């Protein structure tokens, strides 16, 4: 017993004496779902014994912790209210499918973050040393320039399903014949027409990314980061070299949810880490409603950014009539009051989504198709109807529908009518959809370690191995023209042309001899 006590004391002492890594975490996008991902990442890193400096626009939500330092970037702005208004999106007044609009807004967030005085003070303060940086990737590579100042490894975190833009700095351009792209939003295998579209989308993206997008990022780098590098007495590195020098990519998905594509060794899935082991209990009033829902519960939410109250009045009235005609209890995340509420419909300005989805009476989730929502649906094995609106939601919706646990409904002025048809289809064949999502849920949960543990393991691995250079793809050392054998094709073409010339010369001389004879 005495030996056991000594052993336990030694273990506890070693835990307290063990030095965690000093980690800089950047989640500067002012979006609730991004804040959820950032906050939970920081929580797990702190639980892992690390010291974390957290750059976030959600300062007021951060709990105090002796190993947590907050860098306030609450001045960051993304899209304005008009751009994210459902009515404006439906009417075409706002086009969020435009790649240039997306880049312009998100590179602006990155620039606001880097020029923020709190961030500038951090970068200029030579007393702060970090072992690793984790930066949220959102369509700009600017945060990969921070190691030029802080002299430590860099890890990307992707908030969306894997796509060519985030995988490019890890292994170069991907094969568009089978890799999904959020703009085309098709799921492989592709038809010939879609393969052509995918190739064109990749070529256009490469042109933009290596043209004016790159020029804009480099300009911001030279303005906001390069002067600090010089102040520290170091030469300013090439921005393109920094862009391709990340040690690891942490991916907010799981292969059971997304596409099984070839990945480099330094890309790791940690999707679902934001879902706690123990789900919070429902508020008493909501618990009573769900417990008494004898025919099951349908939950409808358009997420944290999009607001159901912005839907056109005709659609809201149509949805109320539709929901009122169902035998199921309907919970609708709605940000205002609604007159004429049917008895089976309950609106909530805020909804504890994970707690709702975990309830045994849940039968169907109607969602906008954000990756967090679909991850939670698979986690809790709930069938889905997806109404995608912008960004990666179209790809997520198509993926969920292809995997057989969801139906996609387009956001149009006939939404209430199209949704009625989708509800009829799912509810009439609910056992099939429920069984399919259970199968995916088993695959999703069956992994060697929990996502939060994988997060800490791979961050520790990068720190211990000084940037994990052994994991970097050799493909980055091979130019694109060599990877697709353009040099070989050029050699073959030259040989064919030379042979053709020789053939023409020989046949020409023979014909001349025949004529002279």
Question: pLDDT tens for residues 279-315?
Answer: 999 999 999 999 999 999 999 999 888 888 888 889 9
Is residue 195's pLDDT more than 70? yes
pLDDT average, residue stretch 135-149: 95
Report the pLDDT value the prediction gives residue 227, as an integer from 0 to 100: 96
Say which CATH number the domain at 226 has. 3.40.50.2000
Same domain, 92 and 221: yes
Dist. CA 366–CA 380, nearest whole Å: 14
Distances (CA, A) of 219 to 43, 116, 223, 239: 34, 17, 6, 10
> Does 147 fall in a domain?
yes
Does 16 have pLDDT greater than 80?
no
Co-location of 215 and 322 in the same domain: no
Q: Is residue 12 part of a domain?
A: no
Q: Does residue 511 lie in a domain region?
A: no
pLDDT score of 253: 93
Nearest of 323, 340, 275, 317 to residue 332 by alpha carbon: 323
365 and 322 part of one domain: yes
Within a domain: 280: no
Clarify whether residues 458 and 336 are in a common domain: no
Task: Name which residue leads in pLDDT, 220 or 479.
Answer: 220
Would residue 370 count as lying in a domain?
yes
**Dihedral, 213, 214, 216, 218 alpha carbons, nearest 10:** 160
Within-domain flag for 92:
yes
Residues 252 and 326 in one domain: no
Long-range contacts of 416-421 (CB under 8 A, 24+ apart): 416/315, 416/318, 416/319, 416/321, 416/322, 417/318, 419/319, 419/322, 419/366, 419/385, 419/387, 420/322
Query: What is the edge-to-edge ordering of all strands in the sheet holding 329-333?
Result: 345-348, 329-333, 297-301, 362-367, 384-386, 406-408
Considering only 121-130, 316-325, 373-382, 504-513, which range has the smallest mean pLDDT?
A: 504-513
Asked if residue 96 belongs to a domain, the reply is: yes
* 382 Cβ contact partners less than 8 Å away, ≥ 6 residues apart: 357, 362, 363, 364, 365, 437
Sheet-wide strand order for 51-56 = 68-72, 51-56, 22-26, 132-137, 154-158, 248-251, 267-269
Domain end among 445, 462, 491 = 445
The dihedral formed by the CA atoms of 362, 366, 371 and 373, expressed in degrees to the nearest 10: -40
Query: E-assigned strands of 43-186?
Result: 51-56, 68-72, 132-137, 154-158
Tell whether the model's pLDDT for residue 336 goes beyond 90: no
**CB proximity list for 486: less than 8 A, separation 6 or greater:** none
Q: Tokens in use for 510?
A: 């023979």
Residues for the chain: how many in total? 517
Q: For residue 460, what pLDDT is reported?
A: 97
One domain, residues 441 and 466: no
> Does pLDDT of 494 surpass 70?
yes
Regarding whether 161 and 33 lie in a shared domain, the answer is yes
456 and 496 belong to one structural domain? no
| C-alpha closest to that of 204 among 351, 98, 297, 80 | 98
- Do 243 and 353 belong together in one domain? no
pLDDT of residue 140: 92
Q: Can you read off the two tokens belonging to residue 345?
A: 């419909």
Half-sphere exposure of 448 (CA within 13 A, CB side): 5
Domain membership flag for residue 301: yes
Tokens of 384: 């889905």
Q: What pLDDT band is residue 360 in, cutting at 50, 70 and 90?
A: very high
The set of residues, in sequence order, having a beta carbon less than 8 Å from that of 73 and lying 6+ positions away, is 28, 55, 56, 57, 112, 113, 116, 118, 119
Structural domain harbouring 440: 287-445
Mean pLDDT of the chain: 89
Note whether 269 and 311 are same-domain residues. Answer: no
- Dihedral angle at the C-alpha atoms of 380, 382, 387, 390, nearest 10 degrees? 20
The answer to whether 166 and 249 are in contact (CB under 8 A) is: yes
- Cα 206 to chain centroid, rounded: 20
CB 320 within 8 A of CB 345: yes
- The answer to whether residues 135 and 259 belong to one domain is yes
pLDDT of residue 390: 84
**Backbone angles phi and psi of 51, in degrees to 5:** -100, 125
pLDDT tens sequence across 37-86:
999 999 999 999 999 999 999 998 788 899 999 999 999 887 666 677 77
* Tally of domains within the chain: 3
pLDDT at 64: 86
Give phi and psi for 495, each to the nearest 5.
-60, -45
Shared domain for 437 and 467, answered yes or no, is no
Give me the pLDDT at residue 9, please. 40
Q: What is the mean pLDDT of residues 143-162?
A: 95
Predicted pLDDT of residue 12: 42
């Amino acid at each position: 017993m005495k030996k056991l006590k000594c052993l336990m004391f030694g273990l506890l002492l070693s835990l307290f004496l063990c030095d965690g890594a000093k980690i800089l975490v950047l989640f500067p996008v002012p979006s609730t779902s991004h804040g959820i991902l950032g906050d939970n990442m920081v929580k797990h890193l702190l639980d892992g014994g690390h010291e974390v400096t957290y750059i976030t626009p959600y300062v007021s939500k951060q709990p105090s912790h002796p190993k947590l330092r907050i860098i306030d970037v609450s001045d960051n702005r993304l899209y304005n209210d008009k751009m994210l208004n459902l009515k404006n999106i439906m009417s075409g007044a706002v086009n969020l499918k435009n790649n240039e609009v997306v880049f312009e807004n998100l590179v602006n967030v990155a620039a606001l973050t880097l020029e923020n005085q709190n961030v500038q003070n951090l970068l200029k303060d030579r007393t702060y040393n970090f072992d690793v940086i984790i930066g949220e990737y959102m369509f700009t590579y600017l945060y990969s320039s921070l190691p030029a100042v802080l002299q430590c490894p860099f890890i990307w975190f992707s908030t969306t399903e894997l796509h060519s833009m985030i995988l490019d700095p890890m292994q170069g351009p991907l094969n568009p014949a089978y890799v999904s792209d959020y703009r085309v939003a098709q799921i492989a295998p592709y038809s010939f027409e879609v393969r052509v579209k995918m190739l064109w989308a990749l070529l256009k993206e490469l042109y933009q990314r290596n043209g004016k997008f790159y020029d804009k990022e480099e300009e911001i780098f030279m303005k906001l980061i390069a002067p600090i590098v010089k102040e520290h007495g170091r030469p300013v590195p090439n921005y393109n070299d920094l862009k391709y020098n990340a040690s690891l990519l942490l991916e907010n998905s799981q292969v059971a949810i997304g596409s099984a594509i070839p990945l480099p060794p330094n890309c790791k899935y940690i999707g679902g880490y934001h879902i706690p082991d123990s789900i919070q209990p429902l508020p008493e009033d909501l618990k009573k409603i769900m417990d008494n829902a004898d025919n099951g519960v349908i939950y409808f939410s358009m997420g944290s950014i999009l607001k159901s109250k912005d839907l056109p009045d005709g659609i809201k009235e149509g949805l109320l009539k539709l929901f009122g005609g169902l035998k199921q209890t309907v919970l609708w995340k709605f940000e205002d009051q609604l007159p004429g509420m049917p008895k089976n419909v309950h609106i909530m300005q805020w909804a504890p989504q994970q707690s709702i989805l975990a309830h045994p009476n849940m039968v169907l989730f109607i969602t906008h198709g954000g990756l967090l929502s679909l991850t939670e649906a698979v986690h809790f094995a709930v069938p889905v109807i997806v109404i995608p609106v912008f960004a990666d939601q179209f790809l997520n919706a198509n993926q969920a529908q292809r995997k057989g646990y969801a139906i996609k409904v387009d956001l149009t002025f006939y939404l209430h009518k199209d949704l009625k048809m989708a509800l009829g289809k799912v509810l009439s064949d609910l056992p099939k959809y429920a069984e399919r999502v259970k199968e995916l849920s088993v695959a999703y949960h069956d992994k060697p370690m929990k996502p939060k543990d994988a997060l800490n393991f791979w961050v520790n691995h990068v720190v211990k191995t000084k940037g994990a250079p052994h994991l970097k793809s050799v493909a980055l050392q091979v130019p694109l023209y060599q990877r697709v054998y353009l040099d070989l094709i050029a050699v073959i073409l030259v040989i064919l042309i030379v042979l053709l010339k020789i053939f023409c010369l020989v046949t020409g001389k023979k014909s001349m001899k025949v004529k002279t004879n």
